[in-house]
Amino acid sequence: MSRGDEAAFRDLLARYRSTMYETAYAALLDPEQVDATVADAFAEARRTAAGFLDSLGSVSGWLTHLTRLCIAARRRSGRPAT
């Protein structure tokens, strides 16, 4: 990622961080789990940013979707084995 792209990506995430945090907090209710989930969603956003097509949806919707996927993954990994 170029420096300009990196700066733009940081600005984008700063803009949507509170929305992602609120989404995760509503589902998890644990600030530590929420912070980890939002960090996971940011990492996934960075990994998949090149594939995002704004013609298919909004940035907010994309980041919310990634956050929900990370919430689901965290819940699955936290379930006790049966």
Q: What confidence tens digit (pLDDT) does each residue in 39-73 have?
A: 999 999 999 888 887 767 899 999 999 999 999 99
Fold of 3-78: Rna Polymerase Sigma Factor; Chain: A (1.10.1740)
At residue 12, does pLDDT exceed 50? yes
* Dihedral angle computed from the Cα positions of residues 69, 26, 20 and 80, in that order, rounded to the nearest 10 degrees: -40
pLDDT confidence bin for 80, thresholds 50/70/90: very low
Query: Rounded to an integer, what distance in angstroms lies between the CA atom of residue 79 and that of residue 46?
Result: 27
- Residue spans of the domains in the chain: they are 3-78
Tell me the mean pLDDT in the region 25-41.
96
Mapped onto helix, strand or coil, the DSSP state of residue 79 is coil
